[in-house]
Chains A and B, each alone.
Chain A
């Protein structure tokens, strides 16, 4: 053993990325792929199930909103818009709701080894992101099948996906860091994310809403993602609002949520093992 290997280095204790970047990335890959296998390899139809879920929800909602409530009657390509929105929101909902209890479910690893805490919620979101990508292939098959013409703005879609991914990760970080200390975070979030489903233009386009409610929905950081996706992918001439209120403010709120996530996670990470 050489002298340089014997150089003393500070033991800094547990943290979000303790043990170095490289190790964190490798663990992230291993945990995410494990999670993925665990979800799908045990079931008979395997991966098909993850496709069936949004498709079934889509079929139900399509029936309800085109024949019963007629919410999408005047919206161009409403069925594919609905499908795309459900898949996008499904990612956010699945990612955050799984992330809440993720640290607790990895209790053995957290309490018995040196483990970068951030990897746990990140792995959950990454697994959901993988589902999202496969689901999007189906969505785009429908989009083309319903006669939507491809445009150059399709190339901007990854920007929206990145925004959605970062926001989902940030919310997951906050939830997973708080859950070991406040166990009812999971219940609150289950209710809250369902409410958010209706407070986001998933089932309806934003222009259908008026008054204070519209302002509130416009403040939702998820709103511009759905509105812009509609315009860029499905309906280039959609009456989408692009004023500062509708893009800049939600973007600023998104950044604020990310900052809050980093702060909360770094604050809680060293103590997670003690709270479990």
Chain B
């Protein structure tokens, strides 16, 4: 529990500290709203205590009685895989809770235990309200049934009664825009129609707790964005969302809190940015789990980063249309072979607007390397097509270009506001010469 509260406190700090330009705005009017929204003040809806799960993996799978009879001793050759070790956490009502970890860390096993698909060996999970698990889109869809029948079946699988599922049928078909095809068998649907239907079922499931496992991975970026909008709307409607993922951008931009699982153990619960940072450390730093929170990255260190206006002054906000002067200085803490400096400009919602990579500009014959202790400065001017709004920059520095080993990852390198009086749809404006005229002779 100590983790949680420390994390929550840190999150508040994380929001205010890097955005020097907006400190006043956040502390000025944000605090009462934040206190109201603070999920930790709300009742617990999922409580896991000491959950453990061990799988017995036979060295050679014994599938038949004959093998069992002919190799009676083989049955005992199991490898024990401890998928979860004494996992405890709480999720509060109305929270967007992320569970992150690399493949095989046990996060999906945990989700399946929460969804009553696996049974925990030890420990206890308690939950309040109706739960809808989304391990995959369109689970239980039967191609031989019409979409009408499938929607009802799926609704009942999600814990609705048949009457409730039927009542929701129209809403689902409308959302999927498939009303005209309601009596068509699913096997005659295009894959796009199928995804739309599966998605609509999920949207209309309307459970108190939604468990989501990488559903977002199936679609393209636009689809993933649509999913996230729905999950967020659910959260705003007072529902609880638990998301299992290894996509850190999603965690950072949507989760209220996140839990990092590694080798079946809880490594961190709290601030999503911190969880993401530790996730990257576990995966890329090479030092494994022993990197403590306060220790700077071992491969490279961020010295400074700032924006400049056209006049060359350091600024924290940029006028719409004014070129963005970008500057960053990093120091290598060990030799970085063929380093690549990557930057992403994201909206406040975590949608990447654009990004670019730079390698070291080298005089002839110099090895492509940043030696330990050397500093690199990345600077220049960026065309500013951003619409008014809040943006942030994240940076990733990798070494050994071919392997792409991550050396430094700064999730919120810079946080800035574009101000202006010409807002528009989307995050960018583009030049065009479109004209609308009355067609002659019509």
CB interface residues, A 1-45, toward B, < 8 Å: 1, 5-14, 18-19, 22-23, 26-27, 29-30, 34, 37-38, 41-42
Determine which of B63, B119, B128, B161 lies in contact with A183 in the assembled complex, contact meaning CB atoms within 8 Å: B63
A108-B125 contact, Cβ under 8 Å, with A182-B64, A274-B118? no
Query: A77 near B: Cβ within 8 Å?
Result: no
Determine which of A11, A13, A23, A271 lies in contact with B159 in the assembled complex, contact meaning CB atoms within 8 Å: A23
A14-B139 contact, Cβ under 8 Å, with A26-B161, A34-B145? no
Say whether B113 contacts A26, CB under 8 Å. no
A11-B117 contact, Cβ under 8 Å, with A6-B129, A23-B159? no
Query: B176 near A: Cβ within 8 Å?
Result: no
CB-nearest residue of chain A to B146: A37
Say whether B129 contacts A1, CB under 8 Å. yes
Cα distance A41–B146 when bound, in Å? 12
How far, in Å, is A30 (CB) from chain B's closest CB?
Answer: 5
A182-B119 contact, Cβ under 8 Å, with A34-B142, A37-B145? no
Chain B residues whose C-beta falls within 8 Å of the C-beta of A10 in the assembled complex: 124-126
Query: A92 near B: Cβ within 8 Å?
Result: no
Q: B-facing mask of A200-234, CB < 8 A → 1, else 0? A: 00000000000000000000000000000000000
Query: A270 near B: Cβ within 8 Å?
Result: yes
Query: B43 near A: Cβ within 8 Å?
Result: yes
Say whether A26 contacts B140, CB under 8 Å. no
Query: B156 near A: Cβ within 8 Å?
Result: yes
How far, in Å, is A109 (CB) from chain B's closest CB?
Answer: 5
Chain A interface residue number, banded:
35 or more
Query: A188 near B: Cβ within 8 Å?
Result: yes
Q: A-facing mask of B143-156, CB < 8 A → 1, else 0? A: 01100010011001
Determine which of A1, A109, A273, A274 lies in contact with B157 in the assembled complex, contact meaning CB atoms within 8 Å: A109
Query: A63 near B: Cβ within 8 Å?
Result: no
Q: A-facing mask of B31-63, CB < 8 A → 1, else 0? A: 000000000000111010000000100000001
CB-nearest residue of chain A to B53: A274
| Interface size of B in residues (CB-CB distance below 8 Å) | 46
Query: B304 near A: Cβ within 8 Å?
Result: no
Say whether B142 contacts A14, CB under 8 Å. no
Say whether B144 contacts A42, CB under 8 Å. yes
Say whether A11 contacts B125, CB under 8 Å. yes
Chain A residues whose C-beta falls within 8 Å of the C-beta of B131 in the assembled complex: 114
How far, in Å, is B348 (CB) from chain A's closest CB?
Answer: 29
Determine which of A8, A14, A274 lies in contact with B47 in the assembled complex, contact meaning CB atoms within 8 Å: A8
CB-nearest residue of chain B to A182: B65
Query: B120 near A: Cβ within 8 Å?
Result: yes
Say whether B161 contacts A22, CB under 8 Å. yes
Cα distance A184–B152 when bound, in Å? 35
Query: A246 near B: Cβ within 8 Å?
Result: no
Chain B residues whose C-beta falls within 8 Å of the C-beta of A1 in the assembled complex: 93, 129, 208, 238
Chain A residues whose C-beta falls within 8 Å of the C-beta of B156 in the assembled complex: 23, 26-27, 30
Query: A74 near B: Cβ within 8 Å?
Result: no
How far, in Å, is B335 (CB) from chain A's closest CB?
Answer: 47
Say whether A8 contacts B117, CB under 8 Å. no
Chain A residues whose C-beta falls within 8 Å of the C-beta of B152 in the assembled complex: 30
Say whether A13 contacts B126, CB under 8 Å. no
Cα distance A153–B156 when bound, in Å? 42
Q: B-facing mask of A251-276, CB < 8 A → 1, else 0? A: 00000000000000000001101100
Cα distance A17–B30 when bound, in Å? 48
Say whether A11 contacts B127, CB under 8 Å. yes
Query: B66 near A: Cβ within 8 Å?
Result: yes
Cα distance A270–B113 when bound, in Å? 11
A34-B129 contact, Cβ under 8 Å, with A13-B120, A111-B117? no
Say whether B153 contacts A34, CB under 8 Å. yes
Interface centre among B45, B65, B135, B208 (most CB of A within 10 A): B65
Cα distance A185–B68 when bound, in Å? 13
Cα distance A22–B112 when bound, in Å? 22
Cα distance A271–B118 when bound, in Å? 7
Pick 6 A–B contacts, CB within 8 A, sort by A: A1-B129, A11-B113, A26-B156, A27-B157, A30-B152, A34-B149
Known pairs A34-B145, A114-B159 / 5 extra A-B pairs, C-beta < 8 Å: A6-B129, A13-B120, A113-B115, A113-B135, A270-B118
